[in-house]
Amino acid sequence: MRAPSYIGQVNDVDPLGPLDPDFAARFVRDLRRPPCQLYLVSPLEVGGAFPDRLARALDAGPVAAFQFRVKGVDQHAAAKLAEPLQAICAASDVAFIVNDSISLAKRLGADGVHLGQDDGDPHEARQALGLSAQIGVTCHDSRHLAMEAGEAGADYVAFGAFYPTTTKEAKHRAEPVLLSWWAALFEPPCVAIGGITPDNAAPLVAAGADFLAVSGAIWSGDEAAAVKAFARALTSG
């Protein structure tokens, strides 16, 4: 297993300049926003017994969304892997989101798509998937990228990584104050991602995260126990 690392981390200078360091201290979560919710991201291997693991996770506690994320397979193979997982999500009323691929999301009739900075734009996704699709955009640690995504019609923005992670190489390190800034000024939800566990989730929830996107903390062990632990973490505040 690759050790947690921020090797190659990029801290681009945000065109908007630095945030006021006291912003986070002054932030108070708006109680009109829904409570923070859990957003599961799949491991890269989703064949074999994984559908049973997903069903077990969704039965264990509240989950708002599931992101289907596979790499290195063609669209036909990806669709075949996705179909049973999509059915499990539908049965549990969990949004099924496709990572990176607008065309795969359209083929599956998915609930939405999550776009990286190099995976197309929200306008393109909206035209392909329709008005009801949930379109998310990775914005790393950048307020500028988040504002661009919002202006382009994204339904949510994702910031991170907040903590060291082994799920993918983390080139950007975000601070919780970024969540506070977004939640204080904008209506669309913000998603926190990167190395999040039940033990370190509280500062992100307090900072204003609307969703916690988690992968390794769920699938590296007992998925049902992990979902239950997150449910406790999300309600303890």
pLDDT tens-digit profile of 86-120?
999 999 999 999 999 999 999 999 999 999 999 88
**Which of the pair, 187 or 166, is modelled with greater confidence?**
187
Average pLDDT in the 70-77 region?
A: 96
**What is the mean pLDDT of the segment spanning 197-222?**
97
Give the span between the Cα atoms of 109 and 112, in whole angstroms. 8
Cα(102)–Cα(100) distance, integer angstroms = 7
What does the buried/exposed string (b/e) look like for 186-202 if buried means 16 or more CB atoms within 10 Å of the residue's CB?
Answer: eebbbbbbbbbbbeebe
> pLDDT digits over 16-44, tens only?
767 776 777 788 888 889 999 999 999 99
Confidence (pLDDT) at 188: 96
Residues whose CB is less than 8 angstroms from the CB of residue 17 and which lie 6 or more positions away in sequence, other chains included: none
- The proportion of the chain whose per-residue pLDDT surpasses 90, expressed as a percent, equals 80
Class of residue 145 by CB neighbours under 10 A (exposed 0-12, middle 13-18, buried 19+) = buried
For the cut 70, the answer to whether the pLDDT of residue 12 exceeds it is no
Lowest mean pLDDT among 21-30, 125-134, 198-207, 225-234: 21-30
pLDDT tier, 218 (very low <50, low <70, confident <90, very high otherwise): very high
> Checking DSSP bridges between strand 65-68 and strand 95-99, what pairing results, if any?
parallel
Please state whether the peptide bond connecting residue 229 to the residue before it is cis, i.e. omega within 30 degrees of 0.
no
Phi, psi of 40 (to 5 degrees): -85, 140
Q: Do 156 and 189 contact (CB within 8 A), yes or no?
A: yes
Low-confidence winner among 109-118, 144-153, 160-169 (lowest mean pLDDT) = 160-169
Give pTM, 2 decimals.
0.90
Q: Is the pLDDT reported for residue 3 higher than 60?
A: no
| The pLDDT value given to residue 24 | 74
